[in-house]
Chains A and B, each alone.
Chain A
């Protein structure tokens, strides 16, 4: 296993490789990846999260060597591998659709990479049994790989990666897409367990927040070929770097309100949120137009008027069993709030709403300033 680094990577499918990117091409719209710097530490569990078309798969192909970046360098443990072909890179991949040799046994599928590398037969047997044990595949070892479930096939793909000692990293590309819903939990748990136990450097690519935040210790969120934020799942949730992250992570997403800094506080439509001197100081240099962000679980809802609270109408109430999700409106502005199911609110009714400053985030354009 190794640490993988991307240094100043840019890529355009229309341009040949060149060492340094000419200054005048930097803003060219044809670049699917621009000026990307990323590091995945040895033995760590990472995810690349983003909507389709954001450049995730392009990055995976660069790491495995299927694609050469137009500019920039790829390093394994500090060694530049940008010009090395895929077969020299020792990267294992698990794809959306399981790739196994259907006509041969699970045993021979797992043994294949070792046999190719000329490992002695007795060692192969020991290794295959060991890997089968770890992945709960012992009972299907003699079966033909065409006759096992999709989840088991994905485990065989993973097994072929971990059976070699020289594997640098394992890349997963949406590995749960075709897995039966009932088996997803088991496979998710197994992948996580094996990653931790064997300290495998992993990069897990997905468009699904749940998959990314569940699998990885460090998640990189991408949009339009650029990194929007890298952090732990908790950091992405509590300290979003942009309004996009605030909305994209979490359910329901963060409430985002256009507001203006005024003498009395932040004016959002027809209500004013008072500001502490500390918050005012932090944002006043960026002023006067901002976006106020507050997660639905931190919106305070009261059935009676309270100081600092403003009246809103409950326009929709969703009971999700564990709690209620309210859509609140006031003069055309809508926000969501999440409250315990036992609260006595009703659709169409009036409630008073508070924005606790401790949980409020302030964005200037695409960047968080508080």
Chain B
């Protein structure tokens, strides 16, 4: 059981949107296709669902080649970014329609029961007799999701269903979606999103698209903790990971990766694998702190912006031309132009190859002194 994609490629005019993409989704998985806008995730989702045809490659559902099947034959459900509901039908009728199309057709009672259950799950059971134009945007998207789920398809495809909702609604619906899909007994969910936080909270596996290639596909925790490429690391972080260039130098009998006199990391333990003169180093924003613990490395910078995100503060600093961002807990006030010292942990960084952008090492796998 599951979905398999083999060597999928797709071009629009001369632009290659998807380039030789293969992966496998197992039964029971919730997969997010994560990428910034314009990297082909919607196209890939549409090809998997059968709305779009690939130029090359095959799609299998449960080991059956469905590449040439029309979408109607596939018995899938789809939710779009711009919620699509029938404007002339009530909320109840919108949800009942997919059930009436089932063969054999369920009884009237069964349809009413299933619609009621789904409406309760998505908290729209109080709106059954309203028309889509009479309910809010958040409720309309709930309705679109309910309509997709009511027929209990094996495979469900969602294309950025939360993007057009405001942040409190996103926060609430994210939790509900997690609960709803946890009840699903078989099949798979594929969810396209530009938001790292949705990939983190919802998925069992993540695929990251960049320049038409699937740069990495694997269990969510694995992709987050061992991003195979710099691009994956930079994007699949919340906020974006600090990545800067360093030179390899010997100073005071130690081997360092050095960006400045302050911003340098001791890497004796990786001596045998570092053959180049320059590398890229990545540090997650929450690893830069303002209250130091033992052995932490102080780095001083000038505040260029302080952003408040939810209940946290993203402090953007300029450290001798190196842009750094620290994620601090709580809503903190900092003035632009102020000088601030942040501290980094000697064992919390990633080393990437400068040319290929591949992950070479995670500092925490070999602690200093070992």
Contacts and interface: CB of A to CB of B under 8 A. Distances in A.
Contacts of B311: 237, 250-252, 295-297, 338
Interface in B138-194: 166-168, 171, 174-175, 178-179, 194
A182 interface: yes
Interface stretch (B42-50, B56-64, B331-339, B344-352): B331-339
Contacts of A250: 310-311, 331
A213 B286 contact: no
Interface string B28-53: 00000000110000000000000000
Contact of B305 (A189, A208, A253): A189
A127 B227 CA distance: 48
A248 interface: yes
B216 interface: no
Contact of A320 (B179, B200, B307): B200
Contacts of A237: 308, 311, 330-331
A251 B224 contact: no
Contact of A251 (B36, B171, B178): B171
A346 interface: no
Contacts of A248: 168
Contacts of B166: 51, 207-208
Interface residues of B, number: 38
B141 to A, nearest CB: 16
Nearest to A238: B331
A108 B306 CA distance: 34
Interface in B260-318: 284, 286, 304-312, 316
A193 B336 contact: yes
A222 to B, nearest CB: 15
Interface residues of A, number: 39
B327 interface: yes
Nearest to B176: A316
A321 B168 contact: no
Contacts of B179: 316
Interface of chain B: mostly helix, strand, loop or mixed: mixed
B197 interface: yes
Q: Which of B37, B306, B307 has the most CB of A within 10 A?
A: B307
A319 B201 contact: yes
Interface string B227-246: 00000000001100000000
Given A182-B36, A238-B331, A322-B286, A188 B305 contact: yes
A72 interface: no
B24 interface: no
B167 A319 contact: no
A342 B94 CA distance: 44
A253 B168 contact: yes
B307 A188 contact: yes
A166 interface: no
Interface string A230-247: 001110111000000001
B305 A320 contact: no
A188 B175 CA distance: 29
A192 B305 contact: yes
Nearest to A193: B336
A181 B178 contact: no
B329 interface: yes
A321 B167 contact: no
The 9 closest A-B pairs by CB, nearest first: A251-B310, A213-B308, A237-B331, A250-B311, A214-B307, A318-B201, A322-B286, A189-B305, A234-B331
26 contacts: A180-B37, A188-B305, A189-B304, A207-B166, A209-B308, A233-B331, A234-B332, A237-B330, A238-B331, A250-B310, A250-B311, A250-B331, A251-B311, A253-B171, A297-B311, A316-B175, A316-B179, A319-B201, A320-B201, A320-B238, A321-B237, A321-B284, A322-B238, A322-B286, A322-B312, A327-B175
Given A213-B308, A238-B331, 4 more contacts: A51-B166, A233-B333, A251-B167, A327-B175
